[in-house]
Amino acid sequence: MGRTRAAIASALMLPLAACAVKEPTDALSEGTTAGSSVETEDVDPAAGATAVPAPAPATASRDADLSTAQPAEPDLSLDDLAVDLAEDLSLEEKAGQVIVAAHNGPSPPLSLVVEHHLGGIIVMDPDLSTEQLVALNDAVADAADEAGREWPVSIGVDQEGGLVERAKGDLTRFPTFMSLGAADDPDLTRRAAAGSGAELRGAGFTAVFAPTADVTMGPTDPTIGSRSPGSDPELVAEHATAAGLGYLDAGILPVVKHFPGHGSVPADSHVELPVQDRTLDELEANDLVPFVSAVQAGLPAVMVGHLQLTALNSQLPSSLEPEVVEGMLRDDLGFDGLVVTDALNMAAVADRYGPGQASVEALRAGADVVLMPADPLSARDAIVAAVGDGTLDEDRLDEAVARQIAALLEVADEGSVDALEPGGAADVAREVSAAAVTVVQGPCDGPLVDGGVVPMGDRLAVQRFERAAERAGLPLGAGTTVELLRPGQGPHGAQVSVALETPYLLASTGAATKVALYGDTPGAMDALVAVLTGEAEAPGRLPVEVDGVERQGC
């Protein structure tokens, strides 16, 4: 079973990717100009995007030794202020402050943040327009301010790019995080996260539940997949850390997830409690590597997932297990920042615990924010009752409240990239896809299609491809057949196979030419058309192993 948990503390400080600060460059997308197309389906691609100052990029080396690096020292005056603010709250207010509730619909839940003093909300409705998002977020923030709250309300969103993007409207669509593993340019990763974060901040968000630091184990990983940069722990460490720093550049709180690593379990915690059978040695060498990097870089918040670790001989979900939160994360990795649970309404927890019990147990285990309990008010009442009967120490609750307040105050004051209007990050999103597109079979030079093209596959993807072809002047309706593949759709026997998300589907096609695109955004389709016509090279390389292809990339 490997060494005990207590014995891995010193060994976890591994040599990892450095993320040293450099001077800012002139634009989010180097080599691009204002006026490039906006990454939405409803906005004219010629309408323009705003060039903005770039954040300081991360270094590109994975050979640097950070074994002596320490987490950034906290601002003691800010810490003291947060402690004072927390101590001034009533018990009921403290219990509310550690809860972030799920919210759907355009109507702002003002009573939750004013009357019940919840720490904030996570916006879950992908159908809200930009105007509705801004109005919702502004109303919540204004209500908290008018009620006398002296720190930002937590208004968060799952916005990873690709399949996981809750804030839509006119905001820039980014491809999957795996795109950045395929591009393998940490400076670009940091600029992309800064661009996305700057748009989110412009829309009123204060927190983003990203980046994903899980190392995917391949096609048997049902939950993470293209949400991860790849299957190499050091690659994932480098890009997850760079993304977290990019969000900080934008003045938005990043929450690195899902400790201790969800990419190596063959079950989905949304529907059941996954069992992690890896030994502590195996976790140390793989899943924990990106989180070590994040802690060493001083990233302020970590989400703990719902996994059962057999190496600890525990039956508890990791989000409720003190040996994971206080032991592995705080004691072993030295993390003293904000710990957030994964959503407590997920089946991995909710099938065994009510919202109140789960919230109390998460706080007892060392978490500071309980995310999305199914009934946030009953969770609040349970926390109050637990302090009252001694089940939960009030000092532990005070510590959790102070950590959340400090994190929100500090991040809001440290952004170096201005907030952006919707679509303002289009250039850098387009740059990501252009750097990621990967030809794993077929010619590396010149056109990959003969004359026109006949696209087939997913209807929405075909429509986006057709728009990109029209923008590039590529004839449609005759010529080379091109299939756009999603899981469960195809193959269709085309001459060119394109995997839109994870590249594993390329293993099952008989096409002469195979391309991994890692997204279906307008920018991704533009990058694909440019490669198909020979107007651009395909610089990406597979960040995961795929059977049945000739090479990792050109």
Give the 3-state secondary structure of residue 282. helix
Give the 3-state secondary structure of residue 72. coil
HSE, CB side, 13 Å, CA atoms: give it for residue 136: 27
Query: Residue 293 class from Cβ within 10 Å (0-12 exposed, 13-18 middle, 19+ buried)?
Result: buried
3-state helix, strand, coil in the chain (%, to 5): 40, 10, 50
Question: Which among 249, 287, 342, 520 is annotated as catalytic?
Answer: 342
Paired tokens of 80: 């003291």
User: Annotated catalytic, 342?
Assistant: yes
**159: enclosing H helix or E strand:** strand 159-161
Residues in the chain predicted with pLDDT less than 70, given as ranges, are 1-77
Task: For residue 211, say if its preceding peptide bond is cis, omega within 30 degrees of 0.
Answer: yes
Give domain 7-16+78-414's CATH number out of 3.20.20.300, 3.40.50.300, 3.90.550.10, 3.30.420.40: 3.20.20.300
- Tell me if 479 sits within 8 A of 552, measured CB to CB: no
Q: How far apart are CA 431 and CA 421, in angstroms?
A: 19
SS3 labels along 14-50: CCCCCCCCCCCCCCCCCCCCCCCCCCCCCCCCCCCCC
Tell the residue number behind the tokens 């926390």, with chain if given.
Answer: 383
CB atoms within 10 A of CB 266: 12
**Could you tell me the residue ranges of all domains in the chain?**
7-16+78-414, 437-532
Q: How far apart are CA 249 and CA 412, in angstroms?
A: 10
Question: Which among 79, 270, 277, 281 is annotated as catalytic?
Answer: 270
Rg (CA), the chain: 23
Q: State residue 77's pLDDT score.
A: 65
The residues facing 483 across adjacent strands are: 456, 497
Give the burial string for 123-156 (b: 16+ CB within 10 Å, else e): bbbeebebebbbbbbebbbebbeeeebebbbbbb
Could you report how far apart the first and last alpha carbons of the chain are, in Å?
Answer: 41
Paired tokens of 224: 């993470």
Q: Considering the entire predicted model, what is its pTM?
A: 0.87
Contacts of 378 (CB under 8 A, 6+ apart): 354, 355, 356
Which of 89, 19, 81, 84 lies closest to 56 in space, CA to CA? 19
Q: How far apart are CA 527 and CA 537, in angstroms?
A: 9
SS3 labels along 168-220: CCCCCCCCCCHHHHHHCCHHHHHHHHHHHHHHHHHCCCCEECCCECCCCCCCC
User: Annotated catalytic, 184?
Assistant: no
Paired tokens of 408: 């929100």
Residues in the chain, total: 554
- Tell me if 448 sits within 8 A of 531, measured CB to CB: yes
